Amino acid sequence: MTYVVGTACVDVMDKSCVQECPVDCIYEGDRSLYINPDECVDCAACQFICRVDAIYYETDLPEDQRQHLADNAAFFTETLPGRDAPLGSPGGATALGRVGVDTPYVAAMPRNTSES
């Protein structure tokens, strides 16, 4: 089981969750953050600190957010645009740095241009 970043993070990326995560498993794409399901220890620290209410436990995802469960995993298991191989489990977002690309699902989402 894991926590999942939903739609509210797209184009916002508050990043308070990144600083709070004790295992450094929240990775930065271009427009969204992604939680590595193999590295997440289910501590809920990210969910409690998220100021935009974008993080859910996978069994608590609202119906309109369910696609993010597979999409968050795909960020690590599928080869992302411009990359040669899947990210897999790099062992920490800080050492890897900003990935700078998103899954095709997030990349295709309409831009959120509202001020936060």
Report yes or no on 115 lying in a domain.
Answer: no
CATH of the domain at 82: 3.30.70.20
Q: Whats the size of the chain, residue-wise?
A: 116
Report yes or no on 88 lying in a domain.
Answer: yes
Please count the structural domains in the chain: 1
Report yes or no on 113 lying in a domain.
Answer: no
pLDDT for residue 86: 96
What is d(CA 7, CA 10) in angstroms, rounded to the nearest whole number? 5
Domain that holds residue 62: 3-104
Report yes or no on 109 lying in a domain.
Answer: no
pTM of the predicted structure, to 2 decimals: 0.93
Report yes or no on 51 lying in a domain.
Answer: yes
Query: How is residue 70 written in tokens?
Result: 């597979």
Angle at 2 between CA 83 and CA 19, to 5 degrees: 75
What is d(CA 30, CA 19) in angstroms, rounded to the nearest whole number? 18
pLDDT digits (tens, 9 = 90+) for 42-71: 999 999 999 999 999 999 999 999 999 999
User: H/E element holding 96?
Assistant: helix 93-96
